[in-house]
Amino acid sequence: MQHLLDQAAWFNMFSIPDAELSNAAIRVLDNSNRVIGITIRELLHRFEAITEDPTFEKGLTARNVVGETVGKFTQRWMVIPDDFEALPGREPPPTPLDPSRSQRFAMLDGVCKFGDGEDGFRGFGTGFTIPSTMHGRPQILAVAVGTILEGFGKLKNHEQAVYVYGGSITPDRGFTGSLLLRVMDPEGTIPTGYDLPPLEPRSDPERGITYIVIRGQAREEQVVKPVIGPDAQFKGLQISQDLRLCYLDCTTKGRKGLESVARMGQVIGVINTLVQVNPADPGGTLLSPIPGRVTGDYVFYDAAAQTVGSFKVDFTESRSFRIELAGAAGAQLLLVGNIGRIFGGNGPFEGIGGLATDNLLVSFVPHVSSGMYVLRINDPDGKFRAAINGA
């Protein structure tokens, strides 16, 4: 089962607004001061976020290197009312962007093209904004979950996929931050080699931020326990899984063009979560995912299995899609995108804050999981940033 769940191509990328787009803001025609959406025209870059072993001194550290462009993604992120049912092609009522509060948005008209444009997909999703401050200045953070509606080229017939965003937005430029895409690929359409061309590094586009990527993987003995409330109603599931080191990379310049790589390392901790998602929910389609919420405690160990420290994550939004895999008959598989925030650290993580995304494929019975967490940590002093070539 673990092998079946891991048959996927991973694309860990860093998104930077296209400099040729002079003004990304979408405004109400009768009032140019009212921003109701943002044109996203992003350049997707190779991104190495290599996490190192936890230590008592720093907790977690990671080397972050942004590389060359591997693709382009164009879409419209339109602000939507809280009760709006977002669907592809459905235009929301004009809703002004309010930087002072969290708001939902729909990701419309999404077209992602890799390399020369022969491989890619049309996508759709939703997310929400988070008001914040950076270096004493107001900032709008954004997290989102999307899925492939239709693939083309090597991604043709690869609609079992989820991508998650975590970063910041500005109305005049667009989005800057992490984009992690998982494409289920049991037939090996997208080569997963281990000898990708060297990354071509560029300057750090997001100073004061450190990204940490961690693997989530359940063990057989980490059983799923239902949570039943005093009213005898189902409240959720208690789930644990191991946290592991990992390495992700992708390129469009491999021997066979579009390629990816994913390597898993040793256990460095555990996450204990309350999953407020009902697997019996009748939804789970591309256009009607199962909603939910996930909260968890992340606990990290050093090489001697001593607890280094911990922090909490609140995935305010969870979106689950049902999928089927050959060889996993009878298993209820959910492809999940979780988006939220980091807080409540202790030990070397005291005062930690930032965004968290989770790209997960899970079977509850038997309990098997294949996930990737991307943590976008506020790090103005570089505490969580590991040195690169001694610098």
DSSP string, 342-357: EEEEEGGGTT--EEEE
Give the mean model confidence (pLDDT) for residues 347-375: 95
Cβ contact 214:375 at 8 Å = yes
Cα separation, 110 vs 77, whole angstroms = 9
Listed residue (217, 248, 166, 212) closest to 60, CA to CA: 212
Residue 328: its pLDDT value, please?
Answer: 81
Residue 120: its pLDDT value, please?
Answer: 98
Q: Which residue has the higher pLDDT, 157 or 230?
A: 157
Listed residue (102, 49, 3, 90) closest to 317, CA to CA: 102
Q: What is the pLDDT of residues 330-360, one digit of tens each?
A: 788 999 999 999 999 999 999 999 999 999 9
Q: What is the pLDDT of residues 29-41, one digit of tens each?
A: 876 689 999 999 9
Per-residue pLDDT at 134 exceeds 90 = no
Tell whether the torsion through CA atoms of 84, 72, 146 and 166 is positive or negative.
Answer: negative
Helix or strand run (H / E) with residue 89: none
Instruction: Give the CA angle between residues 67, 44, 11 to the nearest 5°.
Output: 85
Residue 387: its pLDDT value, please?
Answer: 74
Which amino acid would we find at residue 30?
Answer: D
Q: What is the pLDDT of residues 16-70, one digit of tens each?
A: 999 998 889 999 987 668 999 999 999 999 999 999 999 999 999 999 999 999 9
Residue 46: its pLDDT value, please?
Answer: 97
Upper half-sphere CA count for residue 137 (Cβ side, 13 Å): 4
Residue 389: its pLDDT value, please?
Answer: 58
Q: What is the pLDDT of residues 195-232, one digit of tens each?
A: 899 999 999 899 999 999 999 999 888 888 888 888 88
Residue 229: its pLDDT value, please?
Answer: 82
Residue 232: its pLDDT value, please?
Answer: 81
> pLDDT-derived band of residue 249, with 50, 70 and 90 as boundaries?
very high
Cα separation, 106 vs 101, whole angstroms = 17
Residue 129: its pLDDT value, please?
Answer: 98
Which residues are bridge partners to 133 per DSSP?
138
Q: What is the pLDDT of residues 270-317, one digit of tens each?
A: 999 999 988 888 899 999 999 999 999 999 999 899 999 999 999 999
Residue 298: its pLDDT value, please?
Answer: 98
Listed residue (297, 236, 237, 305) closest to 271, CA to CA: 297
> pLDDT-derived band of residue 388, with 50, 70 and 90 as boundaries?
low
Cβ contact 12:47 at 8 Å = yes
Per-residue pLDDT at 378 exceeds 90 = yes
Q: Which residue has the higher pLDDT, 387 or 390?
A: 387
Residue 167: its pLDDT value, please?
Answer: 98
pTM, full prediction: 0.96
